[in-house]
Amino acid sequence: MFSTLSVSQTGLNTSKYAIENVSNNQANRNTPGYKKRVADLSEIRLNGVHITGQGVNFGGISRVTSQYMYDKFMQEATKANYLDKSSNMLGGIEKIFAETDSSGFSVDLNRYFQSVESLRTNPSSEVNRSYMQTQGAVIVESLQNLYSSIEKQAQIEKVELKTDVKKVNQILKEIADINVKIEKYDPSVNDLLDKRDLLELELSKFVDVDINRDAGFYEIKIGGVAAVSNNIFHKEIEIEDRLTPQIDKFNHIRQNADGSSTVFDALKYNSDFTLKTPSYDADDTITYKLNNEFSVSVTIGETIIGDWDGDPNTALTTMTVDNDNLTRAFMVKINSDPNMSKLVTAHNGEYTLDASGNKIPMYPNSDNYLKIESNLPGVENEFTGRFSIERKTDPVTIIKREVIYKNENESKIAQSDTVLTILDQDLNLKSGSMRAQVENLATSNPNNKFQKYLDQLDQFAQTLADVNSSYIRVGENDYVYGRDASEAHNTAPFPPNGGDIVNMNLFSGSSIKTLKFDKNAVNDLSQQNLDYLATLQWKDNLSFKSGAQNSNDVNSTSFVEFYRNLKVGVSTDKEEASYGFEVQDAIANNLGTAYNEVVKVNSDDEMIDLMKFQAAFSANAQVISAVDEMIQTLLGMKR
């Protein structure tokens, strides 16, 4: 009888706890991050002669969850956040390129071409001349506005990235603090686990996370780097700007059979490693051109005073230029030029650094090859340089032309990368909104859409400046287009028998930032010049790559079509990101819905549980009352 009383007492207490749990579930049904609680009930182990059982054991309250579904939901949600952020960023760029029938770069470009045609039709009209001068300046300004607007958008994203990094660091700190409490108050930590789950979900909006919840161990990795281990917050995520200077090397590298390599000076050797013949003489013109704006020339036999050994610690010397010191002569001239020296520094081959950080050439007393570096690192300090050579039999008779470009394989392009680190380890983000920001703030990242659009604008500017600078007329309506192609044109006739390079210099520069329009050059345009310029509007085989014009380039097109393709590319990228987000968001939402069906409080289920536990409570109370009456009766009989 007393065992029956004990069994009912356990049932009564258990039902009471279960009813309280149902009440708590209902009270927290709308609490963010709250997961349904269930009472852990089990039969008390049989002992001795109690063959009918010893009652029910209340093992506490546990959360209803599915770690697999939760982690999968976070993985898909963070992918959706990446695509959502990408779509929003590209939406900002798309607005920059938005145009109307009366405004936008397409309109400005068309007006410029119209101004050229008007002046060509009536070259004596001052009105037409003034109109062309105005429209030439307008397209430069319009291009530069597009470029700077994209840069401003990137700066906005960088400011937002800094804010997001602060949020992420705060979340990581809070998780570490919660882990301290979990260790302290275990096992009564359901509310703390809910808070931690909610913080993990918030964290996954920004970055992809890899969470290890093995028994007795907890770790969060971001981009493959540990950020939190148990209750230890290792170090805050930091933003680091890495700027790489541009380095142009004018050389050829031959790989030898024994595995060694031989370096050849591109000024003196051809790409097949044969010596350029004949040797340069005093009639030849050798010129280095920077950004299609500045130039220096070296002539065999001239005397130059300068830093011939390239060592800033030694005195200046005087030397006469010959074929043996030609490369060093260019080093001296480039470094002495007031315009070039602000942008670049030339070196005679490789160098070492002394204790003061000065660059000391390894082989200062002989020509190696020309190595030209930007003075400041970063993509904003990139430059374009090349050599043009005219071989002559006398000061005016040209017999050969040649252009020498840098060794693309050996040279380095300028880079400006924004990276995230923890303890000097780079975070390799795979998804999350911060991945979209970081990859569009790193010029070396192949997924950088911002830089792709900037590069295309630079290509447009480079080609615009090139073909509006110089040309060679080779027929009634046939031309060698552009300064690069003209200087590389090596087909007779040569001056003074024809084939003269006609320099108009309407535009100069090799990028948007260096692009300039010389309105005074409009005053000097001849009818032949205007006839040439008029063909540019309709020419549909312009190549928009650095170097000489190549009409056989598979990607060649017209100015109008190139810009139209750029605009279409921006819109296409935006639509692809938006569509990708819609698909990924649907996947994440479906997983979230399925997960919530498992963990969220369902009022109908709770009411059923309430009725069950109330019935159990009442039944156990009735049993206790019946046993009590039986005991009272037995006690009365005994008296």
Rounded Cα distance between 21 and 61, Å, is 8
Q: Under DSSP, is residue 171 helix (H, G, I), strand (E, B) or coil?
A: helix
pLDDT tens digits along 152-165: 999 999 999 999 99
pLDDT tens digits along 325-343: 999 999 999 999 999 999 9
φ, ψ dihedrals at 251, nearest 5°: -150, 175
The Cβ of residue 396 has, within 10 Å, a number of other Cβ atoms equal to 9
Q: What percent of the chain has pLDDT over 70?
A: 97
Is the pLDDT confidence value at 151 over 60?
Answer: yes
pLDDT value of position 87: 97
Q: What is the DSSP letter of 104?
A: S
Rounded Cα distance between 572 and 567, Å, is 9
Is the pLDDT confidence value at 351 over 60?
Answer: yes
Is the pLDDT confidence value at 91 over 90?
Answer: yes
Mean pLDDT, residues 309-336: 94
Rounded Cα distance between 518 and 500, Å, is 22
Q: What is the DSSP string of 491-532?
A: -S--TTSS-PPEE--SEE-SSTTT-EE-GGGGGG--HHHHHH
Residues in Cβ contact with 407 at an 8 Å cutoff, skipping those fewer than 6 apart: 249, 250, 251, 252, 253, 266
Residue 60's pLDDT band (cuts 50, 70, 90): confident
Return the bridge partners of 345, or none.
373
pTM > 0.85: yes
For residue 493, whether the previous peptide bond is cis, meaning omega lies within 30 degrees of 0, is yes
The number of angstroms, rounded, from the C-alpha of 308 to the middle of its chain's C-alpha atoms is: 41
pLDDT value of position 256: 95
| Residue type at position 347 | H
pLDDT tens digits along 251-300: 999 999 999 999 999 999 999 999 999 999 999 999 999 999 999 999 99
Q: What percent of the chain has pLDDT over 90?
A: 77
Return the bridge partners of 425, or none.
422
pLDDT value of position 6: 67
pLDDT value of position 154: 97
Is the pLDDT confidence value at 212 over 60?
Answer: yes
Sign of the alpha-carbon dihedral angle for 569, 570, 574, 575: negative
For residue 361, whether the previous peptide bond is cis, meaning omega lies within 30 degrees of 0, is no
pLDDT tens digits along 478-500: 999 999 999 999 999 999 888 99
Token pair belonging to 109: 């470009």
Q: What is the mean pLDDT of the chain?
A: 92
pLDDT value of position 356: 85
pLDDT value of position 52: 66
pLDDT tens digits along 15-46: 888 888 888 889 998 999 899 989 888 888 77
Are 237 and 427 contacting, i.e. CB atoms less than 8 angstroms apart? Answer: yes
φ, ψ dihedrals at 454, nearest 5°: -65, -40
Give the end-to-end CA distance of the chain in Å, rounded to a whole number. Answer: 19
Is the pLDDT confidence value at 50 over 70?
Answer: no
Token pair belonging to 219: 């770790």
| Residue type at position 458 | D
Mean pLDDT, residues 246-254: 98
The number of angstroms, rounded, from the C-alpha of 481 to the middle of its chain's C-alpha atoms is: 34
pLDDT value of position 128: 97
Residue 506's pLDDT band (cuts 50, 70, 90): very high
Rounded Cα distance between 116 and 125, Å, is 12
Mean pLDDT, residues 379-387: 96
Residue at token pair 């002046």: 119
Radius of gyration of the chain (CA): 39
pLDDT value of position 639: 53
Residue 321's pLDDT band (cuts 50, 70, 90): very high
pLDDT value of position 219: 96
Q: What is the DSSP letter of 314?
A: S
pLDDT tens digits along 527-576: 999 999 999 999 999 999 888 999 889 999 999 999 999 999 999 999 99
Q: Which helix (H) or strand (E) holds 23?
A: helix 2-27
Is the pLDDT confidence value at 47 over 80?
Answer: no
Residue 389's pLDDT band (cuts 50, 70, 90): very high
Residues in the chain: 639
Rounded Cα distance between 37 and 609, Å, is 12
Rounded Cα distance between 136 and 113, Å, is 9
The packing angle between helices 559-599 and 449-467, to 10°, is 180
Q: Which helix (H) or strand (E) holds 550?
A: none
Token pair belonging to 540: 């549909």
Token pair belonging to 559: 């100015």
Q: Which of 1-5, 395-399, 574-578 has the lowest mean pLDDT?
A: 1-5
Residues in Cβ contact with 31 at an 8 Å cutoff, skipping those fewer than 6 apart: none
pLDDT value of position 337: 97
Residue 602's pLDDT band (cuts 50, 70, 90): confident
pLDDT tens digits along 424-451: 999 999 999 999 999 999 999 999 999 9
pLDDT value of position 164: 98
Rounded Cα distance between 579 and 585, Å, is 10
- The Cβ-side half-sphere exposure at 140, using a 13 Å CA radius, reads 22
Pairing of strands 303-306, 247-255: unpaired
pLDDT value of position 614: 82
Residues in Cβ contact with 578 at an 8 Å cutoff, skipping those fewer than 6 apart: 87
